[in-house]
Structure 1
Amino acid sequence: MIGLAKRAIRYYVNKTGRGKGLFKKFCHPTGFEWANYLARWGGIHSVGKGVWINPGCNIPDPSLLRIGNNVGLSDCTIFGHDGLIGVFEISAGKQLDSVGAVDIFDNCFIGYQAIVMPGRKIGPNSIVAAGAVVTRDVPPGVVVGGNPAKVLCTVEDLIKKIEERCEAYPWMELIRQRGTHFDPDYEPKLKAMRAQYFFGEKANE
């Protein structure tokens, strides 16, 4: 019965664009499902293929956001406006506007609680680390982090570091068999092997 209700909510929301709160609360959409919903009903300027958007991602100005292909957005915030304009209108008697479009190019990832300020360009092939505050354009092929965000290394360097760590992992054969970044059939065995490797004991049952 619950499964039927979830399917009905999912169908209704994707068909009409209404009830997104119900969709998030009861259906727990994946990042790909949420990106598809936002691409159709979220008012984003454009969304490419293979985009993943965590439902906790905050996009106050969707019409000022353009997303390329193979992009992942964690629980980050993408701003397209500067909220202090309302203060200046009263304090300085100024009628102003302060907005800027954000362009996220292909093959980029923006981490947890990162903030991208208006008018910024990200990538292509770049990563914004968790908690970073992006106040300048992010060049292609780099990893940025900090406040304000600065270049930490190249994506190529990061891949090499991850590859080196992977050489010691006893579950890499499972990762290769899995063939995708997530498969629920592989997760129980992977979790057990990771706990054994890092802690020397099985996780609590």
Structure 2
Amino acid sequence: MIGLLKRAIAHYAKTTGRGTSLYKKFCKPDGYEWAQHMGRWGGLHSVGKGAWINLGCNITDPAMLRLGDNVGLSDCTIFGHDGIVHVINARDGTKLDSVGGVDIRANSFVGHGAIVMPRVTIGPDSVVAAGAVVLRDVPPGMVVGGNPARVICTMETLVKNIKERCAEYPWMSLIENRDGLFDPELEPKLQAMRAEYFFGEEQHNG
């Protein structure tokens, strides 16, 4: 019964754009589904192919956000405006505006807790590390972190480091033969092998 209700809510939200909050709360769509929904009904300027958006991502001004292909947004915050302008207008009697588009180009990722301010272009092929505060453009192919965000290394260096770590993991054959990004039947074995590798008695004594 619950499954039928969830499917009905999902269908209604996807086809009409209504009931989005119910769809998000009860159906918990994955990042790819949520990006498609936001692209069609959430007011985003545009969403590229294969993009994904975590449900915890906060996008304050959807119309000011453009996502390229294969862009990933973790539980980050994307601003399209500067709230301080309202204080300035009230203080000085002015009628100023302070908005700006955020353009996240293909194959880029924004990590958990990161904040991206207006008038910023990220990438392509770039990474914003968890907790970073991005105030200016991120050059193509770079990894940035910190507050304010600064270049840490190149994407090539990041990939090289990840490959070197993977070469030592005893579960990589399972990953290489896995069908897709997640296999619920394989996950318990992967978790057990990872826990043993990082926290097991042999690893601890070694």
TM-score (norm 1): 0.95
- Amino acid corresponding to residue 87 of structure 2 in structure 1: V
TM-aligned CA deviation for residue 181 of structure 1: 2.7
Residue aligning to 2:204: none
- Determine the structure 1 residue equivalent to 2:64: 64
Please give the per-residue CA displacement for 1:127-148, whole angstroms capped at 9, x wherever unaligned. 0000000001000001000000
- 1:41 is aligned to 41
Q: SS of the residue aligned with 1:151?
A: strand
CA distance in 1, matches of 2:127, 2:177: 26
Q: How does 1:23-172 map to 2 (within 5 A)?
A: 23-172=23-172
Residue of structure 2 equivalent to 1:16: 16
1: CA distance, partners of 2:184 / 2:168: 23
SS of residue in 1 equivalent to 2:188: helix
The separation in 2 between residues aligned to 1:9 and 1:176, in whole angstroms, is: 36
Q: CA deviation at 1:179?
A: 4.6
Q: Which amino acid aligns with 1:39?
A: G
State the superposition RMSD in angstroms. Answer: 1.0
The corresponding residue for 2:178 is 178
1:184 shift after superposition:
2.1
Q: Which runs of 4+ in 1 moved over 4 A?
A: none
* 1:104-137 CA-partner distances (Å, limit 9, x unpaired): 0000000001011000000000000000000010
Q: How many residues align?
A: 201
CA offsets, 1:28-50, max 9 Å, x none? Answer: 11001100110110000110000
* Identity %, equivalent residues: 67
Q: Deviations over 1:162-192 (max 9, x none)?
A: 1111111100000100153322232111111
Distance in 2 between the 1:169 and 1:118 partners? 40
Give secondary structure in 2 for the equivalent of 1:153: strand
Q: Indicate how the Cα distance of structure 1 residues 71 and 160 shifts in structure 2: closer, same or farther if over 3 A, else same.
A: same
